[in-house]
Structure 1
Amino acid sequence: MSAAALLQVARLIPQGQGLAPVLLRRAACLSLDWDTRQKSRFQAEDSSGRVLGVFLPRGTQLRGGDVLLAEDGSLIRVEAAPQALLRISACAEHGSPFDLTRAAYHLGNRHVPIELQPGYLQIEPDHVLAEMLRAQPHLQVQALDAPFEPEGGAYAAGHGHSHDHGQDHGHAHPPHHHHHAHP
């Protein structure tokens, strides 16, 4: 397909903020795996059969629930596509939350993308890491297909999981300042 036939997409509306739910329900969908969602330039086909040329600022990472705005004004809802993953959980009978903390520590030392959930961790398949985790006491490692939403990291570009002090999310935060020194 020629470049002229591509519908260009260059705007991102994180999590569809400010858009009416009815507009989001009517929007075409774009189901993408993690590998594609961390690219800033790619070509894909949406649920309406349109071929999209996505050109986002470098470093942008798309998350499930994000909305793209095409050059013709149409909206495209991003979905995290199921993909092959490893789910790490603590043994229900003998394990503890600390077992998952230890697993997250070891995975973090290897700088692999990790999805953190209260009851489990998820990583992309890696047989060496799977064996390391299975060797840990009280951990279970299960292969499955599921959407993957890894943590963005403290210095990641884009809009990973953030904590906006100006947003009302069920509890108050007193005003505070972060003191730090520069040499």
Structure 2
Amino acid sequence: MTELLHAPAVVPKGQWQGAADHVALDYEGRFLRRKRLVSAGGLAFLVDLPEVVNLAGGEAFRLDDGRLVEVRCGLEPVLSVSGDLARLAWHIGNRHTPCQIEPTRLVIRADHVLEAMLRQLGARVTATVEPFAPEGGAYGMGRTMGHDHGPSHGPGQFHVHP
């Protein structure tokens, strides 16, 4: 039986070239510390990092044999939201929902409750399946760290954060 390759390190985006393969991970899958993965080409390896990382896509796992495996954002069900983006972004943010911000739309993970709320606010909402790469946040999200979804708010529930 062949011993499983290890990936003890992540090389940041822009600091590597020539990946041997890639692995596509959804949003939740890009929060990891120790996990067995299989690349698109069938290469099995164990990610074994010193702490939890929040990968945005574009990084590479460095395997213990020196090869690199690129991290890509995987396809997942999302909602494409258009309309008054500033107002809609405020409502999405007030619910501590990860959001991908683009010039002409917002993208959030598929959620029927948020979809109904956004439609009630006048948004145009389209369900689609695509890579999801939300903003990292102003307080260090996107750097190596654990993640906390924070308090959740249902429709009509809100409060102000200091």
- Residue of 89, 100, 111 corresponding to 1:104: 89
* CA distance in structure 2 between the aligned counterparts of 1:73 and 1:143, rounded to whole angstroms: 40
CA shift at 1:16, angstroms?
3.8
- Residue of 110, 122, 129 corresponding to 1:145: 129
CA shift at 1:112, angstroms?
1.0
* CA distance in structure 2 between the aligned counterparts of 1:9 and 1:133, rounded to whole angstroms: 41
Query: Greater CA radius of gyration, 1 or 2?
Result: 1
CA shift at 1:42, angstroms?
1.6
CA shift at 1:118, angstroms?
1.0
Task: Find the counterpart in structure 1 of residue 113 from structure 2.
Answer: 128
Could you tell which deviates more after superposition, 30-39 or 48-57? 48-57
Task: Find the counterpart in structure 2 of residue 36 from structure 1.
Answer: 29
Task: Find the counterpart in structure 1 of residue 46 from structure 2.
Answer: 53
Greater RCO, 1 or 2 (C-alpha within 8 Å, sep 6+)? 2
| Count of aligned pairs between the two proteins | 144
Structure holding more helix per residue: 1
Is the contact between residue 16 and residue 67 of structure 1 (CA under 8 Å) also seen in structure 2?
no
Aligned to 1:58, the other structure's residue is in SS state strand
Kindly provide the amino acid, as one letter, of the partner of residue 120 in structure 2.
Answer: A
CA shift at 1:10, angstroms?
1.6
CA shift at 1:45, angstroms?
0.2
Aligned to 1:56, the other structure's residue is in SS state strand
Structure holding more strand per residue: 2
Kindly provide the amino acid, as one letter, of the partner of residue 12 in structure 2.
Answer: P
Give me the TM-score of the superposition, normalised by structure 1: 0.72
Is the contact between residue 89 and residue 141 of structure 1 (CA under 8 Å) also seen in structure 2?
yes
Gaps of 5+ in 2: 145-162
Is the contact between residue 5 and residue 51 of structure 1 (CA under 8 Å) also seen in structure 2?
no
Where in structure 2 are the equivalents of 1:159-170 lying within 5 Å? Answer: 159=143
Change in Cα spacing, 1:71 to 1:16, as seen in structure 2 (3 Å) is: farther
CA shift at 1:58, angstroms?
2.7
* CA distance in structure 2 between the aligned counterparts of 1:82 and 1:29, rounded to whole angstroms: 14
- Residue of 5, 24, 27 corresponding to 1:7: 5
Give me the TM-score of the superposition, normalised by structure 2: 0.81
CA shift at 1:157, angstroms?
4.3
* CA distance in structure 2 between the aligned counterparts of 1:68 and 1:56, rounded to whole angstroms: 10
Change in Cα spacing, 1:68 to 1:16, as seen in structure 2 (3 Å) is: farther
Is the contact between residue 56 and residue 142 of structure 2 (CA under 8 Å) also seen in structure 1?
no
Task: Find the counterpart in structure 2 of residue 170 from structure 1.
Answer: none
The runs of at least 4 aligned residues of structure 1 exceeding 3 Å deviation read: 156-160
